[in-house]
Amino acid sequence: MIMSASSFLSLALGCFLLVLAVVPHVAHGLSRGSTLSVSTDTVASTTGICATSVTTLGYQCQEFDVVTQDGYILKVQRIPEGRAGGGGGSGNKQPVLLQHGVLVDGRSWLLNLPEEDLPLILADNGFDVWIANTRGTQFSRRHTSLDPANKDFWNWTWDELATFDLPATFDFIHEQTGKKINYVGHSLGTLTALAALSEGRLVDKMQSAVLLSPIAYISHTTTALVLVMAKDYVGEIAMALGLADDPLPDIFQALCHRPGVDCYDLLVAFTGENCCLNSSTIDLFLKNSPQSTSVKNMVHLSQMVRDGVLAKFNHGYPSPPVYNLSNIPHDLPMFLSYGGNDALSDKSDLQFLLDNLKLHDASKLTVQFIEEYGHADFIMGVNAKDKVFGQVLSFFKSHQ
Ligand SMILES: *[C@@H]1O[C@H](CO)[C@@H](O)[C@H](O)[C@H]1NC(C)=O
Ligand SMILES: *[C@@H]1O[C@H](CO)[C@@H](O)[C@H](O)[C@H]1NC(C)=O
Ligand SMILES: *[C@@H]1O[C@H](CO)[C@@H](O)[C@H](O)[C@H]1NC(C)=O
């Protein structure tokens, strides 16, 4: 995610609440509306992420379709080398996969100046860079048999991202490169990796992992609207109203475009502050966001807030299976970076995550704390290249 999990999550939830409270008919109309079925395929070649955000800067960029075991067709970008073609022979480069969070897509890594963006920094430093886009986002809104306008397309939570999207993407990159993969996840992109690894997925293909603004336990989140959603069962109410299989941000987008609603103010109001965002970047970000996710995914996140456990989606049976982080291979090199001003990834939840990793080989676990950073600063902060990305580079270089 970009604007940070907290920001988008809370922003979207806030809008969702308002929609439910004030204009339920709008929610219904939109959720079933034809806007959902607009195909991105025909425009992807000129407006896709490579075309808009990479090749114009002088970098090579390729796009691939990755098909998950449950039929979703995901768009993946590859930046195989640096701007000068530099960084060593292409056959020898180590692959890095960047996984965004919820309500954003792969473009969220590419919104600052080129010398400030993580994918381009990695490419210029000799890495073979891959960018994931999870199901439901603009360029990954396709399926071998389901129609995105049909609610069956939206029947999933981050359980499926961990079970299907990430493994499919890892398999594809491994087939293409023959190499183990270095991983960078932000926000929900940390949760899905931790969950997948704890179930023995990805472990044979992952070289090392960077987790920015990690979320695994979120019961101390201070984001007001997330708390309201969790405590008042808003998602469950939406499910009861038959909205649960609709893509949430379509509702959100509609609200943002209503007269008198300023989504930037909403963003600030619902996310708490980020210290270090450039206003041009925020504008670009808001144009590209929020990206769609399922209401069921939001319900799953609110279950985590309520229950304080890291478990699969609770369908209402006594208790769903737990993801046990002790199962993550203890020698996997990991770098965690978290902020002191992060409304979603709270410090005490992070401490609990670290407790759950206490069996991890201490020499393989690096933890960075940045007091002033909020959730989105880790991706889009104007000084992230100095505060965070430099450390990410050294970490990767020392674990190949
Ligand atoms: C969603 O998928 C699950 C299986 O993962 C299935 O049991 C359930 O009936 C589906 N729900 C809807 C509304 O189709
Ligand atoms: C903010 O973004 C604008 C537009 O990309 C750029 O001209 C400016 O230098 C940026 N400021 C900083 C501090 O990066
Ligand atoms: C997780 O696994 C560890 C090691 O196998 C075990 O000791 C621990 O009890 C498990 N935790 C949970 C919550 O199941």
Residue having the nearest C-alpha atom to atom 2 of ligand 1? 155
Question: Residue 391 pLDDT more than 90?
Answer: yes
Give per-residue pLDDT as tens, 324-361.
999 999 999 999 999 998 887 888 899 999 999 999 99
Residue 359 CB less than 6 A away from ligand 3: no
Active site residue 375: yes
- Closest CA relative to residue 373, chosen from 399, 330, 338, 344: 338
- Nearest ligand to the C-alpha of residue 296? 1
CB atoms within 10 A of CB 91: 8
Residue having the nearest C-alpha atom to atom 14 of ligand 3? 324
Give per-residue pLDDT as tens, 20-43.
333 222 222 223 222 222 233 334
Question: Residue 44 pLDDT more than 60?
Answer: no
The CATH architecture one would assign to domain 24-398 is 3-Layer(aba) Sandwich (3.40)
- Nearest ligand to the C-alpha of residue 317? 1
**Marked catalytic residue, from 117, 246, 342, 346:** 342
Ligand 1 centroid – CA 154 distance (Å) = 10
Residue matched to tokens 């293909």: 205
Residue 242 CB less than 6 A away from ligand 1: no
- Rounded distance between C-alpha atoms, residue 73 and residue 135, angstroms: 8
Ligand 1 centroid – CA 197 distance (Å) = 25
Residue having the nearest C-alpha atom to atom 4 of ligand 2? 280
- Nearest ligand to the C-alpha of residue 325? 3
How much is the pLDDT for 206?
Answer: 98
Active site residue 100: no
Residue 37 CB less than 6 A away from ligand 3: no
Calculate what percentage of the chain has a pLDDT beyond 90. Answer: 56
Q: Give the mutation target among 307, 326, 352 for probing the ligand 3 site: most ligand atoms within 8 A of CB.
A: 326
- Rounded distance between C-alpha atoms, residue 222 and residue 226, angstroms: 8
Closest ligand 1 atom to the C-alpha of 244?
A: 13
How much is the pLDDT for 363?
Answer: 96
How much is the pLDDT for 35?
Answer: 25
Which residues' Cβ are closer than 6 Å to ligand 2?
113, 278, 280, 382
Residue having the nearest C-alpha atom to atom 11 of ligand 3? 324
Report yes or no: 25 and 126 within 8 Å, Cβ to Cβ: no
Ligand 3 centroid – CA 214 distance (Å) = 21
- Rounded distance between C-alpha atoms, residue 195 and residue 287, angstroms: 31
Q: Give the mutation target among 324, 325, 357 for probing the ligand 3 site: most ligand atoms within 8 A of CB.
A: 324
Calculate what percentage of the chain has a pLDDT beyond 70. Answer: 74
Widest Cα–Cα separation across the chain: 58
Query: In the predicted model, what is the mean pLDDT of residues 305-325?
Result: 90
**Marked catalytic residue, from 6, 187, 292, 302:** 187
How much is the pLDDT for 321?
Answer: 95
Looking at per-residue pLDDT, the higher value among 26 and 255 belongs to: 255
> Hey, what's the torsion of the CAs at 88, 168, 393, 395, to 10 degrees?
-120
Residue 319 CB less than 6 A away from ligand 3: no
- Rounded distance between C-alpha atoms, residue 217 and residue 279, angstroms: 31
Question: Residue 120 pLDDT more than 80?
Answer: yes
Residue 326 CB less than 6 A away from ligand 3: yes
Q: Peptide bond preceding 290: is omega within 30 degrees of 0, i.e. cis?
A: yes
Query: In the predicted model, what is the mean pLDDT of residues 178-197?
Result: 97
Report yes or no: 7 and 270 within 8 Å, Cβ to Cβ: yes
Residue matched to tokens 């090749």: 55
Residue having the nearest C-alpha atom to atom 6 of ligand 3? 326
Amino acid at 387: K
Active site residue 28: no
Closest ligand 1 atom to the C-alpha of 315?
A: 7
Q: Mean pLDDT of all residues in the chain?
A: 81
Under DSSP, the state recorded for 309 is S
